[in-house]
């Protein structure tokens, strides 16, 4: 029976994978916040022009709103302002790294594609994400089941 030997992933690989996993929902959040703020900026912009039609008080408040809207619209696109480049949540990152600590990498003995496994025990089974075949791992040895 064909088997393949898996190697523990280097720590840098695990760090990258963990960071990417933790970052994904934060990026999405940041994107939604930016979209919401952009819509708010647009509403302020329109309001500002409507206010310009009102003499005196509108001539003061209108430009303030328009300038505020432009600033807001500008900052929507500044990465980092709304979580795009915000440092990853350190506790979540540490937890994910811990979860990934035993990650091993090797080739599926059936379809030969590169796969990662995250054993929590010495022995177990997994499905190859590419060919969906059931595999058995024992230590660093992976065989079809």
Our finding on whether 47 is near Zn ion (CB under 5 A) is: no
Our finding on whether 128 is near Zn ion (CB under 5 A) is: yes
Q: How far apart are CA 46 and CA 100, in angstroms?
A: 50
Our finding on whether 51 is near Zn ion (CB under 5 A) is: no
Q: Which stretch binds Zn ion (CB under 5 A): 6-14, 54-62, 73-81, 127-135?
A: 127-135
Binding residues for Zn ion, total number by CB under 5 A: 6
19, 70, 131, 144: residue in contact with Zn ion (rule CB under 5 A): 131
Please say whether the beta carbons of 109 and 127 come within 8 A.
no
5, 11, 125, 130: residue in contact with Zn ion (rule CB under 5 A): 130
Q: How far apart are CA 111 and CA 122, in angstroms?
A: 23
- Token pair for 12: 């840098």
Please say whether the beta carbons of 69 and 44 come within 8 A.
yes
Q: Whole-number minimum distance, CB 113 to Zn ion, in Å? A: 5
Binders in 87-116 for Zn ion, by CB under 5 A = 108, 110-111
- Token pair for 16: 């990258």
Please say whether the beta carbons of 104 and 6 come within 8 A.
yes
Interface with Zn ion (CB under 5 A): 108, 110-111, 128, 130-131
């Amino acid at each position: 029976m064909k088997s393949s030997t898996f190697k523990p992933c280097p720590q840098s690989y695990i760090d990258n994978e963990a960071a990417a996993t933790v970052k994904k929902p934060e990026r999405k959040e940041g994107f939604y916040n930016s979209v919401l703020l952009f819509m708010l900026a647009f509403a302020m912009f329109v309001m500002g022009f409507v206010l310009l039609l009102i003499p005196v008080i509108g001539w003061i408040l209108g430009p303030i709103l328009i300038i505020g809207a432009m600033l807001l619209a500008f900052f929507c696109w500044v990465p980092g302002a709304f979580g795009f480049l915000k440092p990853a949540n350190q506790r979540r990152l540490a937890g994910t790294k811990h979860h990934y600590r035993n990650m091993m990498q090797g080739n599926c003995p059936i379809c030969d594609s590169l796969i990662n496994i995250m054993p929590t025990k010495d022995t177990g089974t997994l499905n190859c994400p590419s060919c969906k075949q059931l595999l058995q791992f024992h230590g660093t040895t992976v065989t079809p089941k």
